[in-house]
Amino acid sequence: QKEVEQNSGPLSVPEGAIASLNCTYSDRGSQSFFWYRQYSGKSPELIMFIYSNGDKEDGRFTAQLNKASQYVSLLIRDSQPSDSATYLCAVSRTGTYKYIFGTGTRLKVLA
Amino acid sequence: EPEVTQTPSHQVTQMGQEVILRCVPISNHLYFYWYRQILGQKVEFLVSFYNNEISEKSEIFDDQFSVERPDGSNFTLKIRSTKLEDSAMYFCASSTSGSSYEQYFGPGTRLTVT
């Protein structure tokens, strides 16, 4: 079983729609969850982090965490073509320094 | 906005040669990391560094790899004898604290081993 799983996509949504990206993780000791955006050939850019169950909103982005289901998601409202990128889910266990990354979901926002 | 910087952006080396990748973390950050990403694959943790010593390393980070903070600003990754399979993007990251705190990534160094 992979430690952090994401659907590789591509996930195609029309401009202005809500994009929903999902991530599951296997380690129940995971405590911190991060979403990074990675454009092709570029480095990961942190866009959201969440530590507690529930929703966390920042502008057009909402991260949702359900530790019981070992599930974290990212919603992007009013999607723009510039949001087209690969979205990486990263998970960290308290007491360790490393992030475990998923393989990423490629999002395509169609103009 | 402060950011992590890395040099060089692209390094080409021959198999068996030593390479040093350089990073300048964000100035008030105390924890430093190296990750790598082989083309088309996921980002993988290599090592974390705090207070001038390695705090955690992965199985990838074997005796061929070493890290150093030679002065108050630079953080380096050395690969002693490069192999073809070391070809990847290497990302430096830093955070204000360890464990669960947010890590900010530099632009990366593309290492090509021929």
Tens of pLDDT along B46-65?
A: 999 999 999 999 999 999 99
Please name the member of B41, B50, B91 whose beta carbon is closest to the beta carbon of A43: B91
Which two three-digit tokens encode residue B18? 């030593």
CB A48 within 8 A of CB A59: no
Q: Are residues B56 and A96, on separate chains, in Cβ contact within 8 Å?
A: yes
CB pairs under 8 A between A and B: 60
CB B29 within 8 A of CB B95: yes
Residue of chain B minimizing CA distance to A106? B40
Residue of chain A minimizing CA distance to B58? A98
User: Is some CB atom of chain A closer than 8 A to the CB atom of B99?
Assistant: yes
User: Is some CB atom of chain B closer than 8 A to the CB atom of A98?
Assistant: yes
Backbone phi, then psi, for A66, in 5-degree steps? -130, 95
DSSP A44: -
For B19-36, give the secondary structure using H, E and C. EEEEEECCCCCCEEEEEE
Q: Is the pLDDT of residue B100 over 70?
A: no
Residue A96 confidence (pLDDT): 86
Q: Are residues B99 and A94, on separate chains, in Cβ contact within 8 Å?
A: yes
| Torsional class of A95: left (φ above 0), alpha (ψ -120 to 50), beta (otherwise) | left
Q: Is the pLDDT of residue A1 over 90?
A: no
CA distance B86 to chain A (A): 17
- In the predicted model, what is the mean pLDDT of chain A? 95
Which stretch of A2-6, A87-91, B61-65 has the lowest confidence by average pLDDT?
A: A2-6
> Mean pLDDT across the stretch B36-54?
96
Residue of chain A minimizing CA distance to B49? A97
